[in-house]
Amino acid sequence: MVSTPSKITTITTNSGLQYLPKLGGSIKESSPNQELLPLTAKVNNLDHLEIGGWDVPGLVEKFGSPLYIVDEYTLRTACRQYREALKQYYPGESLVLYASKAWNSLAICALCGSEGLGIDVVSGGELYTALQAGVKSEKIYFHGNNKSVAELNLAIETDCIIVVDNWLELETLAALKKEQKEQLQNPTKIMIRLTPGIECHTHEYIRTGHLDSKFGFDPNQLNDVFAFISKQELLSFIGIHAHIGSQIFEIQPHQDLADVMVDAITTASVHNLSIKEINIGGGLGIRYTEADDPPSIETWVQKVSTAMVDACQSKQLPLPKLLCEPGRSIIGPACVTAYTVGSQKQIPEIRTYISVDGGMSDNPRPITYQSVYRAVVANKLSEPSTETVTIAGKHCESGDVLIKNANLPVTQPGDCLVVMTTGAYNYSMASNYNRVPRPAAVLVGNNEVNVILQRETYQDLLNQDILPERITMGVQ
Ligand code: LLP
């Protein structure tokens, strides 16, 4: 996690069952970001964890491990809860964008697209993937603080909306538009990203809204920015964007953001620019451990919508189209990572290490942000957790620890260990450190299992390698 580290609580009568979704049979009401396991998680008569109707150890037997398992129902529920809550609580037009940096791949972009969401992308690669997944460019918003000329050209050619971050980008964009061939001279839609100066209590690395941030224009630059834009015939200004951070449990910072955004509407109007869309970013936190207590998706949407309506009413402004762009709270709780337990090392009176067949290459968050996760043994779900162990990865790095002091039943090599809430910023930040192939991912839903990412092979690892012949000849 990236807010305050969770306390390690030892519950004497605990077992993996404690993490099953709260509402058991009536899963409809549950907000995915408040659960540790996907909404369809159950224990079956083998005492195994089941997700989307599939036996998790069985999936590992078939597809190998580590394995990312994505529950379609949970993912779709999160998308729908955002969409429906906006419809219910925001009287104006609205659109939910999925912040695909949390997990960008064809299937995940297409699934979110099929739920009516637009996609937030931050690189040419994410943009290309979203387009290949069939998402319409008019629903793709392109962020980034250092977009290359090639990326800007791709965005112009494909007609997506560019969220302009800084002066260089704005001037480059204006120049590129002037150079474009005639057929591309329809105006490119742009939004302006601003740094709202709002602090929130989250991990320093992922605070983006405070003034000391590499992202966006300072509010005091807006006058000049709007003056420049008002002279650009080939840029069509549609609105403003801000994002204040990630894994946020408080709602107040987002409520405060409404006032900052509405002030920008007033500044824009001085330059005869109208703000049609306001994008308040993402950031809603999720429950990684029982100590985490994020608001539900519905509550978050309700509060931010009301704040926006109030802010507009207080200045007698018409309601703009309201956009938000959650990533973590959409994909995070929908996925678990299943590993196979291997070697164990007991260091008397210090700790017991249990190693799994993945680690920091498939989940870099513990080593990067000291994020805390919880795990269950999927083939012994109801067995009491009687041991406190440290779950280590297989990488050649002492810090490659997935979970410190995990409470688990006694495990043996071959057991199926499942780390929960791994959908966000795991696959998308995965690497091939130690030349470990990246895992496969399966989507469970609709009574099917679909492989959505193939497991990398050793040959895949060599695909970009080039061995100059003069060096080959020297190998002894
Ligand atoms: N919009 C913008 C402009 C963003 O920068 C982000 C996340 C989001 C939306 C989505 O935020 P979310 O709803 O997922 O909180 N790698 C870090 C998280 C970095 C977040 C970057 N920006 C982690 O693993 O915790």
Is residue 450 helix, strand or coil? strand
Asked: is 5-71+333-461 a CATH 2.40.37.10 domain? The reply is yes
Evaluate: CB of 327 within 6 angstroms of ligand 1: yes
User: In this structure, which residue's CA is closest to atom 6 in ligand 1?
Assistant: 282
Residue 111 DSSP symbol: H
Cβ atoms of 105 and 82 within 8 Å: the answer is no
Catalytic member of 312, 335, 396, 416: 396
| Residue 141 exposure: Cα atoms within 13 Å on the Cβ side | 33
Evaluate: CB of 1 within 6 angstroms of ligand 1: no
Q: Ligand 1 centre and the CA of 327: distance in Å? A: 6
Q: What is the pLDDT of residue 23?
A: 56
Lookup: tokens for 273: 């620019």
Q: What is the pLDDT of residue 143?
A: 98
Evaluate: CB of 118 within 6 angstroms of ligand 1: no
The series of mean pLDDT values per 10 residues for the chain, 476 residues long, is: 40 78 62 97 97 98 98 98 98 98 98 98 98 98 98 97 98 93 81 88 53 88 96 96 95 91 93 96 97 97 97 96 98 98 96 98 98 98 96 98 97 98 98 98 97 98 95 86
Q: Ligand 1 centre and the CA of 183: distance in Å? A: 35
Q: Ligand 1 centre and the CA of 282: distance in Å? A: 7
Looking at the DSSP bridge assignments, the partners of residue 95 are 323
Tell me the residue ranges of DSSP E strands in 300-349. 321-324, 335-347
Cβ atoms of 190 and 161 within 8 Å: the answer is yes
Q: Ligand 1 centre and the CA of 325: distance in Å? A: 9
Mention every residue, 6+ apart, whose C-beta is less than 8 A from residue 236.
187, 188, 189, 190
Is residue 180 helix, strand or coil? coil
416 is catalytic: no
Evaluate: CB of 334 within 6 angstroms of ligand 1: no
Task: Tell me how far apart the alpha carbons of residues 100 and 327 are, in angstroms, rounded to a whole number.
Answer: 6
Evaluate: CB of 165 within 6 angstroms of ligand 1: no
| Domain extent listing, the chain | 5-71+333-461, 143-326
How far, rounded to the nearest angstrom, does the alpha carbon of residue 188 sit from its chain's CA centroid? Answer: 27
| Among the listed residues 312, 298, 318, 253, the one whose alpha carbon sits nearest the alpha carbon of residue 280 | 253
Q: Which atom of ligand 1 is nearest to the CA of 326?
A: 13
Looking at the DSSP bridge assignments, the partners of residue 97 are 118
Evaluate: CB of 271 within 6 angstroms of ligand 1: no
Is residue 170 helix, strand or coil? helix
Task: Tell me how far apart the alpha carbons of residues 301 and 89 are, in angstroms, rounded to a whole number.
Answer: 7
Q: Which atom of ligand 1 is nearest to the CA of 97?
A: 9
Name the amino acid, one letter, at 300.
W
Evaluate: CB of 102 within 6 angstroms of ligand 1: yes
Q: Which CATH architecture has domain 143-326?
A: Alpha-Beta Barrel (3.20)
Looking at the DSSP bridge assignments, the partners of residue 142 are 121, 162
Evaluate: CB of 209 within 6 angstroms of ligand 1: no
Q: Ligand 1 centre and the CA of 102: distance in Å? A: 7
| Among the listed residues 416, 438, 417, 424, the one whose alpha carbon sits nearest the alpha carbon of residue 70 | 424
Pocket probe for ligand 1: among 82, 101, 123, the residue whose CB has the most ligand atoms within 8 Å is 101
Evaluate: CB of 143 within 6 angstroms of ligand 1: yes
Q: What is the pLDDT of residue 7?
A: 39
User: In this structure, which residue's CA is closest to atom 3 in ligand 1?
Assistant: 243
Tell me the residue ranges of DSSP E strands in 140-219. 140-142, 161-164, 188-193
Cβ atoms of 448 and 51 within 8 Å: the answer is no
DSSP strand pairing (321-324 vs 94-99): parallel
Task: Tell me how far apart the alpha carbons of residues 459 and 60 are, in angstroms, rounded to a whole number.
Answer: 22
Q: What is the pLDDT of residue 18?
A: 94
